[in-house]
Amino acid sequence: MVPSPDTHPPLRVAVLGCGVVGTEVVRRLVTDGDELAARVGARLELVGIGVRDADVERDPVVDRALLTTDATSLVEKADVVVEVMGGIEPARTLLLHAVAHGAGVVTANKALLAQDGPTLYAAADAAGVDLYYEAAVAGAIPIVRPVREQLAGDTVQRVLGIVNGTTNYVLDTMTTQGLGLDEVVAEAQRLGYAEADPTADVEGYDAAAKAAILASLAFHTRVGLDDVDRTGITGLSADDVAWAARTGHVLKLLAVAERATGQDGTAGVLVRVQPVLVTADHPLASVRGAFNAVFVEAEAAGELMFYGRGAGGAPTSSAVLGDLVQVARHRVLGGKGPVESSYAALPVLPAGDARSRYQVRLEVADRPGVLAAVAGALADQGVSVEAVRQTTALDADGRPVATLVITTHTATERAVRATVDVVDALDAVHRVVQVLPVL
């Protein structure tokens, strides 16, 4: 029997933060109140909204009487606290205060969880309350709970994700319009797809936080932000994008988390964020604009893909509300969500252990024997060649420039980097233009 909202006392919900996402969460609580009550078995009563500045103008759906700058007192009187303020502090302190006072917690705070998740998980567990965070990774797309719960009976081998809408929008626009990075980032800012300070997105910090969270869930192992080998998109050019297309790939910024074996045979995990040349017929290649997608490879399930809007007020509010209903149901019906599962405690291997095919693009002297020299250097390092293209074009000053594009067979990143250093030193090689992994 689902208890009736007519008989069960209302659940007191506090929302911390009233920005783009917070406003949408409030909107749904206000406009869908009856539906939510029917689904939970009790009315969800918004008892306060914690903000930094109570005087700022707000969307009319926000009842100004509920605004408060005293978030500390607010969380003490809530049954469930929804944290959509972001940032490390004061979010961390407020969440710990909330769980200490017996409130269940729903958060979207990827940076906090990637940096200090275990502290919060342990505190919630010790207090016997729920901690849910679907909205922390890939916005509206259910991915945290599918990995945390539905795949809890399976063995996840690898997770590949386009988890940052800003960078996917930028790369997709560079691809379709042939423009350079800075120009497209500026356009993205104008359209609201990128922040005034886009560093967190374009340098891959946002994706790295999500990678850490996904890896922790997928491998039942603690992976923090510092464990993620991170490369953003700032080193990419319009030429890189053009060469991706020419060789049948699409350039994507991917969060990659995979089981791997270290140099000494140790079983471990590798977690990284980096630009990757994705083969054009891979499902991830078709993820356009600001959409996100997470591609999961599991032992029994095989390949799964979850696709949708990774950011934005309304999409993120969908994930928050889904968690809120779950936490609320537990308060009404009993029960508790999963706790941190880190029993596997796999070591995080060094980035150099990653194995992949690579595409190496070189500017070389336009004369015979260059390919032989380069191929010889690769062979010496044990890196074998899968494909080679060589083209000659005139540079801005009208001089002939030869470009050599080599696709290697699978090799460790360590071996490829060493190879690239050797190749770079060859007389015949003017410069190493780009080295990118290939999926």
Residues at the site binding its own copies, with contacts judged by CB under 8 A: 1-2, 24, 28, 32, 35-36, 38-39, 125, 134, 140-142, 145-146, 149-155, 220, 283, 286, 298-309, 312, 314-315, 317-326, 329-330, 333-336, 338-339, 341, 343-344
Binding residue per annotation — 258? no
Contact 362, 372 (CB under 8 A): no
Distance CA 297, CA 305 (A): 9
Task: For residue 110, say whether it is annotated as part of any ligand binding site.
Answer: yes
Is 336 noted as a catalytic residue in this protein? Answer: no
* Minimum CB–partner distance for residue 301 and its own copies (Å): 4
φ, ψ for residue 402 (rounded to 5)?
-100, 130
Say whether 76 counts as a known binding-site residue. Answer: no
Shortest Cβ 338–its own copies spacing (Å): 7
Min dist CB 172 to its own copies, Å, is 14
**Residue 22 assigned as binding residue:** yes
Q: Which of 77, 210, 252, 336 is catalytic?
A: 210
Closest CB to its own copies among residues 258, 340: 340
Contacts of 168 (CB under 8 A, 6+ apart): 162, 252, 253, 287, 288, 289, 290, 291, 292
314 contacts: CB under 8 Å, gap ≥ 6: 24, 140
Backbone angles phi, psi at 365, to 5 degrees: -65, 140
Rounded Cα distance between 95 and 115, Å, is 14
In the bound complex, what is the minimum distance in angstroms from residue 133's beta carbon to its own copies?
Answer: 12
Q: What residues have CB less than 8 Å from 121, skipping those under 6 apart?
A: 131, 339, 340
> Tokens standing for 399?
């001089």
The annotation status of 77 as a binding-site residue, yes or no, is no
Measured from the CB of residue 329, what is the shortest distance to its own copies in angstroms?
A: 7
Distance CA 228, CA 225 (A): 6
Nearer to its own copies, 25 or 405 (CB): 25
Q: Give ∠ CA 246-159-124 in degrees, rounded to 5.
A: 145
Q: β-strand 44-50 against 11-16: which pairing, if any?
A: parallel
- Tokens for 201, please give them: 């997105």
CA distances from 295 to 21, 251, 258, 298 (A): 25, 16, 12, 10
Of 230, 237, 235, 160, the C-alpha closest to 200 is 230
Task: Give the tokens for residue 149.
Answer: 């719960």
Q: How far is the CB of 322 from its own copies (least distance, A)?
A: 4
Binding site annotation covers 29?
no
Asked whether residue 287 is marked as a ligand-binding residue, the answer is no
Strands, E, within 42-149: which ranges?
A: 44-50, 67-68, 80-83, 104-107, 131-132
Which amino acid makes up residue 412?
A: T
Q: Is 18 labeled as ligand-binding?
A: yes
Annotated binding site: 16-23, 110, 195
Binding residues for L-homoserine: 195
Catalytic residues: 210
